[in-house]
Structure 1
Amino acid sequence: MITRTSRYVILAMFLVLFLLPFVWIWSSALKSNSEINADPFGLPTSPQWGNLADAWTTGRFGKYLGNTVLYCAFVVPGVTVLSCLAGYALGTRRLPGERFLLGLFLLGIMIPFQSIMVPQYYLVRDLDLLGSYWGVIVPNIALGLAFGTFLMRSFFRELPEEIGNAARLDGAGEWRVFSRIMLPLARPGLITMVVLQFMFTWNMFLIPLLYGQDENLRPVSTGIMFFIGEYSVDRSMIAAGVTLASVPIIIVYLVLQRHFIQGMTSGALK
């Protein structure tokens, strides 16, 4: 039998392993390049707080941060709304061609983006979206729908059918059953999808480079490229840029962690 003390020791070990990459990158953000080269894994002897300000200005993080917030403001709600509607229909209704539709969504999860980025590029070009914000937003929504639909379908399928049937007997329409009854019950899955999609959108890299084609349209994740030259790499600035880019994700996770963990473990606790 594993004692309570042993459990806490094991959890503490995993906590240390989890925090080590963060401590390493954050400490590197406060060191000079010479100090990093001399002792890559050591703590900074004299913290260089100016690295964060330099990374913000040199890497144009102010402009890129605004672009990233704009992308998240469109992509996350777009994926959430469409995934909830599709997941509800596939999870609670018996639709003609349901297996075929599920197979298409499954392909969207299985096929990597690198395999479809060339034909998708031509599709975005034919829609005259290249070099615009919509050229980044629309493909991101399309790529996020497969995972979001499968996630929400699994949550809607776990809800008792009797709840929706009782509301229909009382005269509630299908939209009212979905929006007022079933969707609030699937709140853990909804928040889980929002957090994951926010992380995917915040960290996107290839899609803005391929379809944005304008430096003014790039997100915050591309700002790190300014510190990588042809013959040199500014490691302290890269670490500072990664630190700036990771702060919003950490804040969102800390705020929604209880609901996120509940959504991720609900299937195991059922």
Structure 2
Amino acid sequence: MLVTVLLVLIAAVFFFPLVWMVASSFKTNSEIFRTPFAPPSSIDFEQWVRAWDVGNIGQYALNSVITTGTSVLLILIFSAAAAYAFSRYRFRGDKWLMGLLALGLLLPVQSYFIAQSTLFRDLDILDTRLALIIPYTAMGIPLATFLLKTFLDGIPEELFEAARVDGAGDLRMFAVIALPLLRPGLATVAIFSALNTWNEFLLALLYIQDDSLKTIPTGLLAFSSRYVTDYGMLFAALSIITIPMVVIYIVFNRQVTEGITAGSLK
């Protein structure tokens, strides 16, 4: 009982800012400062409409969907293939390659940002979606590969041996045996990768200057100037982009939980 009460209290602490943000999106700036914790006097979605149209949230959201969707798809493809190779094959240098992937978990983006920026400038892909998709994919592959390799290590070797006896090749075993069994792990990787990519700010700020290509985190800067911030419209924009991600996480919560726990069992 005590544990349940503590968990409810912790959940309330983390959930309150979301409720406060949504409630504030229905207030004017004066109401937010005068009665910050009071419920809104009326539910009017005018702020939401203004945030979508005037604030260009629709375009920013589309850019985020394209960038996030493409990055997550590439992460799933490359990490699943890499995890299968590391789990099922032994070859010279495999430990070194796994070590290089581990560096991707340890090194912050600031440590290689200058070299990456120079490379992108020479390739003439700055201020394009590729300038975000490439690093987002590269940053997501290490963790995804380690997670999926853990799943594959738990699959009995006899399944693959039986398939090989039946004449299945490596590609068919990967597609018919590995991928279906990896669904919980792929769902977990997809959710975590999508959340990280959707909320990434630093690279999106530095690599994208064209307003028509900006993603949501950098696009929100348009709601705040040096001297004035329209907090009502800012909270409306934040609500528009936050609620769908929360809903997605709630819908796929069981898959994420199964993915995390299944990978720890042999």
TM-score w.r.t. length of structure 1: 0.92
Residues 45-73 of structure 1 show CA distances to partners (whole Å, capped at 9, x for unaligned) of 33342111111123211111111121123
Query: Does structure 1 residue 175 correspond to structure 2 residue 171?
Result: yes
SS at match of 1:30: coil
- Which one of 36, 42, 45 corresponds to residue 46 of structure 1? 42
- Which one of 93, 106, 110 corresponds to residue 110 of structure 1? 106
What 5-or-longer segments of structure 2 have no aligned partner? Answer: none
* Alignment correspondent of 2:136: 140
> Conserved in 1, the CA contact under 8 Å of 2:22 and 2:236?
yes
Which deviates more from structure 2 when the two are superposed, residues 158-167 or residues 188-197? 158-167
CA drift of 1:107 comes to 0.7
- Which one of 187, 193, 198 corresponds to residue 194 of structure 2? 198
* Alignment correspondent of 1:97: 93
* Alignment RMSD (CA, Å): 1.7
Residues 71-117 of structure 1 show CA distances to partners (whole Å, capped at 9, x for unaligned) of 12311111110010011111222221122111111111111112222
Q: Counterpart of 2:17 in structure 1: which amino acid? A: P
Distance 2:92 2:264 in 1: 30
* Alignment correspondent of 1:252: 248
Distance 2:89 2:177 in 1: 16
SS at match of 2:112: helix
- Which one of 12, 16, 21 corresponds to residue 20 of structure 1? 16
Q: Counterpart of 2:64 in structure 1: which amino acid? A: T
What 5-or-longer segments of structure 1 have no aligned partner? Answer: none
Q: Counterpart of 1:145 in structure 2: which amino acid? A: I
> Conserved in 1, the CA contact under 8 Å of 2:154 and 2:265?
no
Count of residues paired in the alignment: 266
> Conserved in 1, the CA contact under 8 Å of 2:185 and 2:263?
no
Distance 1:22 1:55 in 2: 18
Query: Does structure 1 residue 239 correspond to structure 2 residue 235?
Result: yes
TM-score w.r.t. length of structure 2: 0.93
Residues 113-143 of structure 1 show CA distances to partners (whole Å, capped at 9, x for unaligned) of 1222221111111112112222221221122
* Alignment correspondent of 1:215: 211
Distance 1:26 1:264 in 2: 30
SS at match of 2:252: helix
CA drift of 1:234 comes to 2.1
> Conserved in 2, the CA contact under 8 Å of 1:87 and 1:152?
yes
Percent identity (aligned): 38
SS at match of 1:172: coil
